[in-house]
Amino acid sequence: MYPGSAPTITEDRLAANHRGWRRVVLGFTPSWFTVTMGTGITSILLHNLPYNGRWLYWISVVIFCLDILLFVSFLCISVVRYTIFKGLWSETLRNPAQAVFLGTFPMGLSTIINMIVFVCVPAWGDRVAVFAWALWWIDIALAVACNFYIPYAIMQTPGVTLSSMNASWLLPIVADIVASATGAIVANVLPNEQHALWTVIISYILWGTGVSTAMLILAMYYSRLMFHDVPPKEMVVSSFIPLGPLGQGAAGIQLLGQVSLKIFKRNNFIPAVLTAGQIFYVAGILIALVMWGFGLMWLFFALAALYRRRRFPFNLNWWAFTFPLGVYTVATTTLAQELPSVFFKVLGTILSVIETMLWIMVAVGTVRYSLNRRLFQSPALGSWIEKKRQNSKENGTLV
């Protein structure tokens, strides 16, 4: 290689990363897994709709299959992305704007596990229940890693200020809460009583790690809103994300209470208190009502932020319309079952319809802007590209 030719070849190779399939793969950030979250929660809502029908069941199954297809496809693209673009994984971990979206992967997996329990276990029996349980262990390992490591990584990032934070900081935290609710759903169908008991215990611990940390971040985010106004128009839809930990937390604690009522007595859990299952069950409903009310306030803040900004460009943040509202709807429909309450039943149905319509709207927008590749332009890639360019020039090597 001639000494003067290296920079030219390097620039050509860098330019190649912005053409064809390499551009798509390079721009395929972790935030794409919000698509699987929104699709998964839509299938769950339609499956569990208070006023249901056989036709809705089959629609939910079709969306469930679509969710699996999207999840597997996105996983394969992500593996290719971090394999062929060296250093991009470490750069993602160092960039808070990208790292927080790593939590969307275990949450997307949780929606699939839930639907496996709802659809496949009744059809194919205990073996599928054990398979769902195995997937859940993978899910909680990923969720805990996100919940513990990513906030710490943000702490170590220089230049982070209160004004720069947004609600997406909640994403790695919500992963634990979602996994805890999934644990309750899986425990309810496990054939082994001891496995079910330990699944419930671990799920309560996961719920505690997620909800407590989410409350801390919500307090920070509230301060950010008070002192620095609502998020900019590009991020304003993320104002719905606080509904995630509150809605999923409310739903999860109720689901855990349901399964506790079922298995605690049979397993002689807390022998000194024979009514332990009933206590956990009632406490779950009480906590859920409190969290549901707290979520109502954040729903108002989110709607007010949308009104404040009014016009905002389409991007992947629009998927925040779906999953947070979806899990808040799950909390609503679960309250409708437990109380029981016609008010929550009707409200849950209305919210389910709204969420489904939002999912259709955002899905159409995603397809539209994916075709012109606008959604594959990530500003966060700038620092990685610049580092590769500098390293290539210094070493005289190809990127």
Q: Residues 72-78: contacts with CB within 8 Å, 24+ apart?
A: 74/28, 74/32, 74/33, 74/35, 74/36, 74/108, 75/105, 77/24, 77/25, 77/28, 77/32, 78/28, 78/30
Whole-angstrom Cα distance, residue 115 to residue 147?
A: 24
Question: Which one has a higher pLDDT value, 93 or 396?
Answer: 93
Segment 118-126 mean pLDDT: 95
| Full domain range(s) for residue 223 | 3-385
pLDDT of 375: 82
Q: Place 383 in a pLDDT band, splitting at 50, 70 and 90.
A: low
pLDDT of 145: 96
Q: What percent of the chain is modeled with pLDDT above 90? A: 71
pLDDT of 172: 96
Task: Check pLDDT > 80 for residue 2.
Answer: no
Segment 136-163 mean pLDDT: 93
Residue 392: inside a domain, yes or no? no
Residue 97: inside a domain, yes or no? yes
Residue 356: inside a domain, yes or no? yes
Q: Place 3 in a pLDDT band, splitting at 50, 70 and 90.
A: very low
Q: Place 9 in a pLDDT band, splitting at 50, 70 and 90.
A: very low
pLDDT of 388: 66
pLDDT of 270: 85
DSSP string, 214-269: HHHHHHHHHHHHHHH-SPPTTTGGGGGTTHHHHHHHHHHHHHHHHHHHHHTTTTT-
Average pLDDT, the chain: 90
Residue 396: inside a domain, yes or no? no
Residue 370: inside a domain, yes or no? yes
pLDDT of 244: 96
Please give the model's pTM, rounded to 2 decimal places.
Answer: 0.91
pLDDT of 90: 86
Q: What is the CATH number of the domain that holds 274?
A: 1.50.10.150
pLDDT digits (tens, 9 = 90+) for 300-336: 999 999 998 888 889 999 999 999 999 999 999 999 9
Contact between 351 and 334 under an 8 Å Cβ cutoff? The reply is no
Residue 394: inside a domain, yes or no? no
Task: Check pLDDT > 90 for residue 398.
Answer: no
pLDDT of 395: 62
pLDDT of 5: 43
pLDDT of 1: 42
Contact between 170 and 222 under an 8 Å Cβ cutoff? The reply is no
pLDDT of 391: 66
pLDDT digits (tens, 9 = 90+) for 232-272: 988 999 999 999 999 999 999 999 999 999 999 888 888 87
Task: Check pLDDT > 80 for residue 165.
Answer: yes
Q: What is the crossing angle of helices 382-395 and 6-16, to 10°? A: 150
Ramachandran region, residue 211 (left: φ > 0; alpha: ψ -120 to 50; beta: rest): alpha
Query: Could you give phi then psi for residue 396, rounded to 5 degrees?
Result: 65, 35
Q: Place 23 in a pLDDT band, splitting at 50, 70 and 90.
A: confident
pLDDT of 281: 96
- Name residue, tokens 């620039």: 11
Q: Place 17 in a pLDDT band, splitting at 50, 70 and 90.
A: low
CB atoms within 10 A of CB 6: 17
Q: For the chain, how big is the Rg over CA atoms in Å?
A: 22
Task: Check pLDDT > 60 for residue 396.
Answer: no
Task: Check pLDDT > 80 for residue 19.
Answer: no
Tally of domains within the chain: 1
pLDDT of 309: 86
